[in-house]
Amino acid sequence: MTDSVKPIGVDFHCHLDLYPDHEAAVARAEAARVYTLSVTTTPKAWPRNHELTRGTRYVRAALGMHPQLVAERIDELPLWERHLPETRYVGEVGLDAGPRFYESIELQKHVFRTILERCSEAGGKILSIHSLRSVPVVLDMIERYLPRNRGAVVLHWFTGSKSEARRAAALGCYFSLNAEMIRSDRGRALIESLPLDHILTETDGPFTHIDERPAEPLDIRVTTETLAKVRNVTVDEIAKAILANLQALLR
């Protein structure tokens, strides 16, 4: 994710393979010069994502095992482990303790622990992590199974408390923020409190919308502009900080 031509922004969590035309979605992100992490939800989705991003400058694919799919896809965990050496990026992974998925939480913990342990063993991986209604447990597991010197964590669409955010930042975690988060008073208050040097941007497209259509990496400009208003700084200041944070993360 480096290039001599100035990028327009960072979309560190987007599901490009869930758009109607996966290949075209990758091409649009690449043409827009948006540093994009194309996360996946199952290991079986990895080969095609890897193929489409192998030669791109701005788009990278991440190897995922989404917590919401763990109950029905647990048999793919060995496949996830086999593919891990092929990428530096891991996501979407984590825990979801919401009502629809709480029944599988112990199985999710098993999978998440395995993912963290394998990433720690490999070293140098960057993870995009889901933590809905499970922030304390997610942070406990990160602290126990993925030491800071063995990998890096970006908490996607973080919905924890300010104290949990402080703990996450102390553990070295980054936060990828999207436009949906900024629409609530609670979300804005949380974003105002986050350390500027731990912030990245995301769309989480196609699960978020801009102008009544699924958001795409090019729409990261909207998120950046809104973040600037919430933080009471200029768009240029936010954009420069986010790019600097990405560079620090990759180092």
Could you tell me which of 139, 128, 130 has the C-alpha nearest to residue 167?
139
Those residues with Cβ within 8 angstroms of residue 120's Cβ, 6 or more apart along the chain or in another chain:
145, 146, 147, 150, 151
Name the 3-class secondary structure at 141: helix
Token pair in block for residue 78: 């060995």
CA distances to 55, 116, 120, 121, 124 from 148, in Å: 30, 12, 9, 12, 10
CA distances to 113, 127, 168 from 140, in Å: 11, 16, 10
Q: Binding site for a divalent metal cation: residue ranges?
A: 13, 15, 92, 130, 156, 204
Residues in the chain: 251
> Cα-atom radius of gyration of the chain, to the nearest Å?
17
CA–CA separation, 78 and 60 (whole Å): 22
Q: Binding site: residue ranges?
A: 13, 15, 92, 130, 156, 204
Name the 3-class secondary structure at 219: helix
Those residues with Cβ within 8 angstroms of residue 15's Cβ, 6 or more apart along the chain or in another chain:
38, 39, 40, 41, 92, 204, 205, 206, 207
